[in-house]
Amino acid sequence: MKNIVIVTGASSGIGRAIAKRFAAADYEVVAAGRDRARLSGLESEAPGITIWSGDLSSPPACRELVEHCMRLHGRLDVLVNNAGIYFRRDTLATSDEDWRQTLAVNLDAPFFLSRAALPHLRSQGGVIINIASDWGIRGGRKAAAYCASKGGLVLLTKAMALDHAAEGIRVVAICPGDVDTPMLEQEAAVDGLSAAEALREYGRQSPSGRVTEAGEVAALALFLASAEAAQITGAAIPIDGGNTA
């Protein structure tokens, strides 16, 4: 019987890479995102992927996604909370809407979705993987709401790990630094850089001399979901080329 994973924010970047990596490892993947058109190509790119579209910032939508997975597959083994947004603003420039939207997508949705998934994960001794950020374990400039949301996600990870370890459920956070994704291109545009210039400049700032590839984050997620990672829970694992060393 194949294992089942839900991956949010799967239409591009890290989420898309994770969905494809799990599918290649013979998982059945429910790829979730807000943009159905952008998701649709995933089904043809990798067998074993089905899509679900909707806004996961409310509890009913999160319950609907989990129920959809259970109707389709009858079980859930892994939940990857990846969906995220980022506004490049300091505290004074952050509007009420910026703040609320960032917290809704980056923190509310992982909480609501984890709460909906946990009763089903108990049956398999499942895994929750939260895609946080290196700015969830250290501060970043012009990212007040983003840092708050990702820092909250890191501590939510640790709290859930403690609450559910005795049930055989593991909860882990991955904390990427700069990753070569469309989100990085958006950040580059704010800095007046092309995508190629951004890769060189942000790479130069990293001890490793380059930014992380989305596939590297996906590979780490797949390992953390595996039996080989059975003793890893409550951890916030940087994958940032040494930025937080």
| Phi, psi angles (nearest 5°) of residue 147 | -60, -40
| Phi, psi angles (nearest 5°) of residue 125 | 60, 55
If one counts every other C-beta atom within 10 angstroms of the C-beta of residue 242, the result is 11
- Can 27 be counted among the known catalytic residues? no
Burial of 21 (0-12, 13-18, 19+ CB in 10 A): buried
Choice among 27, 86, 146, 202 that is catalytic = 146
| Phi, psi angles (nearest 5°) of residue 103 | -65, -35
Report d(CA 166, CA 25) in Å as an integer. 27
Look up residue 149 and give its DSSP letter: H
For the record, the structure tokens of 117 come out as 């998934």
> Alpha helices of 85-213 — where are they, by DSSP H?
96-103, 109-124, 144-164, 182-190, 195-204
Active-site residue set: 146
